[in-house]
Structure 1
Amino acid sequence: MKIAFHGAARTVTGSKHLVTLNDNTQILLDCGLFQGMGEATENLNSNFGFDPSKVTHLILSHAHIDHCGLIPRLVAQGFAGHIYSTPATKDLTRILLLDSAKIQEQDAEYANKKRPEGEPEEQPLYTEEDVVKTLTLFKTIDYNTDFAISPAITVSFTDAGHIVGSAAVHLTLKEDGKSTRLTFSGDVGRYGDLLLKSPQTFSQADYIIMESTYGDSLHKDLEPIENMLFEIIQQTCMVKKGKVVIPAFSVGRTQELLYALNSLELKHKLPAVNYYVDSPLSMQATQVLKDHPEVYNNGVKEVMKTDHDPFDFKGLKFIESVEESKALNNDSRPCVIISASGMADGGRVRHHIRNTIGDHKNTILMVGYCSPGSLGGRLLAGDQSVYLFRETYQVVAEIQSIKSMSAHGDYEDLLHFLSSQRPEQVKQLFLVHGEYPVQQHFASRLNDHGFKQVMIPEHHHVFDCNI
């Protein structure tokens, strides 16, 4: 057996890990889009580093676009096997990939309008037609169910607690008369998450592919999330009469924010302003979460005994049309705007930031991971000016963050996730989905906890488990 790392290797996007058995059966774990990699992004997304037509099976850990976003391109280039995921992941993947295809096609159309005469037309990474074909290949597997995808390969999912439907993937591989167990963590969520169940324990693995996004961080805030939201909204909207703009991913973070704001209303503490979710995708993702109550933790289930919809409250409005979105920028009244993307590197939120960044009355509130080069990352780093829509803007608005709202576990959560394992029985632990300096810190912690065989693979690195 060999494992090749074709994405999320010493970086946090583009998750793709290819397991090749001795009989040349190929199992691809995730097939994600690279994001925020500067000039290298286009090339990374255009070239897999392997032949899609030779991949036998695809197993998807969850629906975030950096884990599923290149599946339609894989299909367009020859992959014809099944795609295995949890039911909720399939539902989320459908809306995210259709949205992504629309963006790909619009971007290509815009680029072709601007291209110099004689240059070849730019093509989208994939089309809506490719997505429709992709969706026919899905097969869903419930959590904690052993499913044989071939006589030699059994897969099971345990809840990873990251987003609705997210799973750690566990493979039992039979070859050459022996059985090997490989676990891929996907993205690991928080223990004690606001909405979701905590990550589940899992059986002993021989090999582990482990995410490490926050391998050197602790998500410790002094106050509960809803209290921090109350203080920021109260000070900005009610005292300074400004706006709070919150860049938030459509899947996961937006729903957590809605739940926390709903909790404030239940306690009669919600500031009386308008709350806008300016993202059609967020509305669809919220509905998927409502359709899968099996992922809720006991706290949410308790709330639902008296509040049938914990994601709705007075003053909330979902914005769909571009016209409505633009109208928010012309409305000077205090309000809260939640809009994608979470790193503020694309989407409608950039327009809202441009409209509010130059006024000290306003607050831009970051609530999740931002890569250092993203607009959100630069704001968190304290940059005094930022480049937006080909213009430089001075950062006058207040920049705040709520660290504990990350859907990724911190290093204590990651170590907790691994606590069911006997370190001496793990032949090799691979760290993926993290920035290299962070991974080096986490590798040192793992060594201290008994995991002596830790590797941080580079892009396209191939590890031979037979040696």
Structure 2
Amino acid sequence: MKITFHGAARAVTGSKHLLTLNNGTQILLDCGLFQGMGDITDGLNESFGFDPKGMSAVVLSHAHIDHCGLLPRLVAEGFSGPVYCTPATMDLSRILLMDSAKIHEQDAEYANRHIKLKEDQEMPLYTEEDVVKTLSLFKVVEYLEDFEITPGVTLRFTDAGHIIGSAAVHLKIKENETETRLTFSGDVGRYGDLILKSPQNYPQADYIIMESTYGDSLHKDLEPIEEALREIISETCLVKKGKVIIPAFSVGRTQELLFALNALELKKQLPDVRYYVDSPLSKQATEVLKNHPEYYNNGVKQVMKIDNDVFNFKGLKFIENVVESKALNDDPRPCVIISSSGMAEGGRVRHHIKNNIGNRKNTILMVGYASPGSLAGQLIAGRHKVWMFRQEYDVVAEVRSIQSMSAHGDYEDLLQFLECQQPKAVRQLFLVHGEYDVQQRFALRLKDHGFDHVEIPQYHQEFEL
């Protein structure tokens, strides 16, 4: 049996891990899009490193694009097997993948309008038609349900607490009278998340594929988030009469912001300004979350006894179209604009940053992880000049950050996720989905906790199990 790491290897994006059984059966764990990797991004997304037609199944941990966003490309290149996921992951994947296809088609159309004669036409990575075909392959498996996905391979999902529907993947594989248990963490959420339940315990594994995004970091307590938002919004909008621009992922982060702002209103502490969510996808994702209250933790359920809609508050407006979005840039009044994407690599938020980065009255507020090469990562790092839309811009606006809002667990959360395991019984633990220097430090911490065999795979590296 072999495992090959075709993405999220010494990087935080493009999750793709291919399991090959002794009988040749191939099962892919996640099929994520590479994002924010600079000039090499397109090339990484155009070549899998394996033959999609040869695989039996895909198991999807959750709906973030860096975990599901290459599924339509996989299908376009010949994959026709089932894609297993939880119910909420299917609901979210439907809107996220369709949105992604539109972006790829629009980008290709834009490029083709500006190419020179005799240059090759730009083709989208995949189309909406590819997404429709992909979604027809989805098969739902509930948490804690044992389901045989191929002969001799049983799947179980447990709640990973990262976003709604996110799951840790557990495979029980029987070959030649031998049983092997493999766990893939997906992305691990916070213990004590603002909205979601904590990650669940799971059976002992022989092999573990573990995310490590924050393997060397500790988040601050969750409580100060509301106070930090109140202070930043008050200072920027009420004192300086400026705008707060918040790049935020449409799934997870946007809903956490809305929940925290709603909590401020319930305490009568919400600054009296206009609040805009400028992302049609965020509106759809918020509706999906509202349709799955079974994922909420007890704290949210208690708040719902006071306010049934915990993602709404006075002054909130969802922007419906491009015309309204552009109008925000011409409106001089103070406001808060929450817009995707979270790493500011695309979407409407780049336009809002472009139009507001040159005014010291404004604040650009980061609320989670951003890869170093992304626009958000450059701003967090304190860059004085950044490139957008083929132009260089001076960073005059204030840049602030609330890192404790990450949906990824810190190293204490990751270690707690592993507490249900006997370290000596784990034959190998593979670290994925992290920057290499962070992974090296987390590997040392894991060894201090008894995990003796920790590997940090390279891109396309294969291991025999």
Q: TM-score, normalised by structure 1?
A: 0.98
- Give CA deviations for 1:32-79 in whole Å, capped at 9, x if unaligned: 000111111111101100000001010000000000000011111111
Hey, what does 1:244 align to over in structure 2? 244
Where does structure 1 differ by over 6 angstroms across 4 or more consecutive aligned residues?
none
Hey, what does 2:44 align to over in structure 1? 44
Hey, what does 1:313 align to over in structure 2? 313
Q: Partner of 1:463: helix, strand, or coil?
A: strand
> Deviation of residue 110 (structure 1)?
1.3
Q: Partner of 1:387: helix, strand, or coil?
A: strand
User: Given that residues 221 and 402 in structure 1 are in contact (C-alpha distance below 8 angstroms), is that contact kept between their aligned partners in structure 2?
Assistant: no
User: Given that residues 246 and 337 in structure 1 are in contact (C-alpha distance below 8 angstroms), is that contact kept between their aligned partners in structure 2?
Assistant: yes
- Give CA deviations for 1:201-222 in whole Å, capped at 9, x if unaligned: 1110000000001111111159
Q: Partner of 1:81: helix, strand, or coil?
A: coil
Relative to structure 1, is the Cα distance of residues 300 and 85 closer, same or farther in structure 2, using a 3 angstrom cutoff? same
Aligned pairs for 1:48-197 within 5 A:
48-197=48-197
- Distance in 1 (CA, whole Å) between partners of 2:208 and 2:55 is 21
2:341 is the counterpart of 1:332 = no
> Deviation of residue 239 (structure 1)?
1.2
- Distance in 1 (CA, whole Å) between partners of 2:300 and 2:249 is 21
> Deviation of residue 223 (structure 1)?
5.3
- Give CA deviations for 1:146-195 in whole Å, capped at 9, x if unaligned: 11123301001000000010000000000011110000000000110000
- Distance in 2 (CA, whole Å) between partners of 1:110 and 1:269 is 44
Q: Partner of 2:79: helix, strand, or coil?
A: coil
User: Given that residues 278 and 348 in structure 1 are in contact (C-alpha distance below 8 angstroms), is that contact kept between their aligned partners in structure 2?
Assistant: yes
- Give CA deviations for 1:203-255 in whole Å, capped at 9, x if unaligned: 10000000001111111159521111011111111111111110000000000
| Matched AA of 1:97 | L
User: Given that residues 371 and 377 in structure 1 are in contact (C-alpha distance below 8 angstroms), is that contact kept between their aligned partners in structure 2?
Assistant: yes
Structure 1 window deviating more from structure 2 (356-365 vs 153-162): it is: 356-365
- Distance in 1 (CA, whole Å) between partners of 2:458 and 2:81 is 27
Hey, what does 2:445 align to over in structure 1? 445
2:268 is the counterpart of 1:276 = no
2:267 is the counterpart of 1:267 = yes
- Distance in 2 (CA, whole Å) between partners of 1:104 and 1:355 is 24
- Distance in 2 (CA, whole Å) between partners of 1:349 and 1:222 is 25
Hey, what does 1:346 align to over in structure 2? 346
User: Given that residues 250 and 340 in structure 1 are in contact (C-alpha distance below 8 angstroms), is that contact kept between their aligned partners in structure 2?
Assistant: yes
- Distance in 2 (CA, whole Å) between partners of 1:156 and 1:324 is 45
- Distance in 2 (CA, whole Å) between partners of 1:263 and 1:306 is 11
| Matched AA of 1:95 | I
Q: Partner of 1:271: helix, strand, or coil?
A: coil
User: Given that residues 222 and 404 in structure 2 are in contact (C-alpha distance below 8 angstroms), is that contact kept between their aligned partners in structure 1?
Assistant: no
User: Given that residues 385 and 393 in structure 1 are in contact (C-alpha distance below 8 angstroms), is that contact kept between their aligned partners in structure 2?
Assistant: yes
- Distance in 1 (CA, whole Å) between partners of 2:45 and 2:116 is 23
Q: Partner of 2:283: helix, strand, or coil?
A: helix
Structure 1 window deviating more from structure 2 (248-257 vs 122-131): it is: 122-131
> Deviation of residue 199 (structure 1)?
0.7
| Matched AA of 1:283 | K
Hey, what does 1:462 align to over in structure 2? 462
| Matched AA of 1:382 | G
Structure 1 window deviating more from structure 2 (23-32 vs 379-388): it is: 379-388
Hey, what does 2:379 align to over in structure 1? 379
> Deviation of residue 392 (structure 1)?
1.9
- Paired positions, count: 465
| Matched AA of 1:271 | P
Q: Partner of 1:430: helix, strand, or coil?
A: strand
Hey, what does 1:13 align to over in structure 2? 13
- Distance in 2 (CA, whole Å) between partners of 1:149 and 1:371 is 34
Which segments of 5 or more consecutive residues in structure 2 lack a partner in the other structure? none
User: Given that residues 188 and 408 in structure 1 are in contact (C-alpha distance below 8 angstroms), is that contact kept between their aligned partners in structure 2?
Assistant: yes
User: Given that residues 278 and 325 in structure 1 are in contact (C-alpha distance below 8 angstroms), is that contact kept between their aligned partners in structure 2?
Assistant: yes
> Deviation of residue 391 (structure 1)?
2.1
Hey, what does 2:416 align to over in structure 1? 416
User: Given that residues 221 and 403 in structure 1 are in contact (C-alpha distance below 8 angstroms), is that contact kept between their aligned partners in structure 2?
Assistant: no
Hey, what does 1:33 align to over in structure 2? 33
Structure 1 window deviating more from structure 2 (221-230 vs 159-168): it is: 221-230
User: Given that residues 250 and 279 in structure 1 are in contact (C-alpha distance below 8 angstroms), is that contact kept between their aligned partners in structure 2?
Assistant: yes
Q: Partner of 1:392: helix, strand, or coil?
A: strand
Relative to structure 1, is the Cα distance of residues 291 and 20 closer, same or farther in structure 2, using a 3 angstrom cutoff? same
| Matched AA of 1:211 | E
Q: Partner of 2:260: helix, strand, or coil?
A: helix
Q: TM-score, normalised by structure 2?
A: 0.99
User: Given that residues 194 and 222 in structure 2 are in contact (C-alpha distance below 8 angstroms), is that contact kept between their aligned partners in structure 1?
Assistant: no
Hey, what does 2:405 align to over in structure 1? 405
Q: Partner of 2:445: helix, strand, or coil?
A: helix
Q: Partner of 1:355: helix, strand, or coil?
A: helix
Hey, what does 1:433 align to over in structure 2? 433
User: Given that residues 222 and 405 in structure 2 are in contact (C-alpha distance below 8 angstroms), is that contact kept between their aligned partners in structure 1?
Assistant: no
- Distance in 2 (CA, whole Å) between partners of 1:306 and 1:39 is 49
User: Given that residues 428 and 455 in structure 1 are in contact (C-alpha distance below 8 angstroms), is that contact kept between their aligned partners in structure 2?
Assistant: yes
